[in-house]
Structure 1
Amino acid sequence: MNRLVGKRPEHEAIYIQVKELILFGEVVPGQPLTIHGLADMIGAGITPVREAMRRLTAEGALAARENRRVEVPVMTPDRLAQIDLVRLTVEPKLAFMAATRDAAAIIQDMERLDARVDQAIKGGDIRGYLEANFRFHFTLYDAAEAPILRRITESLWLQAGPSLRVVCGRYGTSNLKDLHQQAIAALRSGVPQEVADAIEGDIRQGMDFVRQSMDG
């Protein structure tokens, strides 16, 4: 458990643990999940795991099926198109807003996280890549101080994360072009639109990666 999770109330810490299993591809689309199975997986009690699954179902990260089954939803072209549309609308805006604030305070953290992305790509570490990439983006988005947009964005990442994990597992991470340095350079130069453009390009690359795998 990371240090930030450890400082939270138990029910919130368990929610974050389950959420990160989904975000970083530890469970795959179509995989059925049970309260007892998840509780055993993370070493937690039944009650907080049940609450975490309820919250994540409400957020669209899990889907309720017949006979009280819960699973990670399978990505479809229609779902992907909707996620793509909203991500490309909201995330560049968050990046732009962040760049109009005291962006200098986050550049060092973003550089450190981008180095972790590069290291994960070189080493074929898919979980490491997904986690570092998520934290890179959300370090930027948090600086926008726009909690409603941030919450929408995290919900979409939860829905896309498992599918991206499958694609990375099938094709690897070495062919992913790292556009993060472009965003960092624009932040350093103080040009918000260039930051937004870099983030838009990064989003398109990831979503196109998923789309191409579905077409294939």
Structure 2
Amino acid sequence: MQNEMLQATAKQDGKTVPMGSEKTDSRLLPAAEAAVKTPIHQHVYERLRKMILFGDLAPGQGVTIQGLTTALDAGMTPVREAIRRLTSEGALTHLGNRRVTVPELTHTGLEELGFMRETLEPELTRRAAERMTEGRLTALNDCDTALNHAIDRGDVGGYLMQNYNFHAMIYDLAEAPIMAATVDRLWLRFGPSLRVVCGRYGTSNLPDKHAELMAAFSAGNVTLAGEVMAGDVAQGMTQIRAALDGLPIPR
């Protein structure tokens, strides 16, 4: 008996064609693309979160829910959902009369945030240093270069965004998602106050330890990388404390 090759077939446009060679109906693509788009409520949440994180909503500044719907160009329902989520994260508080605000930092709150940051961020940095690659180091250097350009331009928003991105890239490399998520929430608590620091002292007067950190990463010195990050965190929190107290910027 001769062996026969069996070929699976399928019907398409009334014709029999080999299975696997069917053409995709282009009419289905828009629906498929729509399925992978970010849901509107998530998009609104992320936009409002960035407004808080980068100080577009100043601590203590009351804003109406209607005002947020206008600023975000979104409906009331997704805005309310975003407010609910961010309130649960401690990034917003209700004032009544359909108004919300970013909480102002207290000295006690600042001490707690400082303790948490100085505990978690150096550990994440050490873990990132153990996993550092040349490509990742280049990406970090590009981010820090963009940060320095923002400083030169006096671009407060650009500075705050690139500073956040620089730290977030490091913590993502640590492959410790629970700690990284915790730190990200901490940044949401003190991030708005960094805008106050920039407004009081200017971006050109804000020192950091990024160059030392990059050198430690390049040298593969895990311990030093953690120590430098601890110093960078302490320096940043001291700047916030000085701004809250109306003192000259510490060096």
Question: What TM-score does the superposition give when structure 2 sets the normalisation length?
Answer: 0.80
Higher relative contact order (CA 8 A, sep 6+): 1
Q: Which residue of 2 aligns with 1:28?
A: 58
Q: Which residue of 2 aligns with 1:150?
A: 180
Q: Which residue of 2 aligns with 1:138?
A: 168
How many angstroms apart in 2 are the aligned matches of 1:82 and 1:186?
Answer: 28
Question: What TM-score does the superposition give when structure 1 sets the normalisation length?
Answer: 0.92
Deviations 1:179-198 (A, max 9, x none): 11211121121111111112
Structure 1 regions of 5+ residues with no counterpart? Answer: 1-5
How many angstroms apart in 2 are the aligned matches of 1:179 and 1:8?
Answer: 36
- Aligned-residue offset at 1:7: 5.0
Deviations 1:15-66 (A, max 9, x none): 1110000111101011113322111102122211111111111111111234
Structure 2 regions of 5+ residues with no counterpart? Answer: 1-35, 247-251
**AA of the residue aligned to 1:169:** G
How many angstroms apart in 2 are the aligned matches of 1:7 and 1:126?
Answer: 31
How many angstroms apart in 2 are the aligned matches of 1:58 and 1:210?
Answer: 24
- Aligned-residue offset at 1:175: 1.4
RMSD: 1.6
How many angstroms apart in 2 are the aligned matches of 1:33 and 1:14?
Answer: 16
Percent identity of equivalent pairs = 46
The answer to whether the aligner puts 1:126 opposite 2:161 as a matched pair is no
Equivalent of residue 43 in structure 1, options 73, 97, 103:
73
**AA of the residue aligned to 2:243:** S
SS in 2 for 1:60: coil
The answer to whether the aligner puts 1:72 opposite 2:102 as a matched pair is yes
The answer to whether the aligner puts 1:98 opposite 2:148 as a matched pair is no
Contact 2:65 2:99 in 1 (8 A): no
How many angstroms apart in 1 are the aligned matches of 2:71 and 2:228?
Answer: 37
Q: Which residue of 1 aligns with 2:213?
A: 183
- Aligned-residue offset at 1:68: 5.0
**AA of the residue aligned to 1:27:** L
**AA of the residue aligned to 1:109:** A
Higher-helix-fraction structure: 1
SS in 2 for 1:90: helix
Contact 2:93 2:102 in 1 (8 A): yes
Contact 2:132 2:217 in 1 (8 A): no
Deviations 1:145-185 (A, max 9, x none): 11111111111111111111012112101111231121112
How many angstroms apart in 1 are the aligned matches of 2:37 and 2:148?
Answer: 29
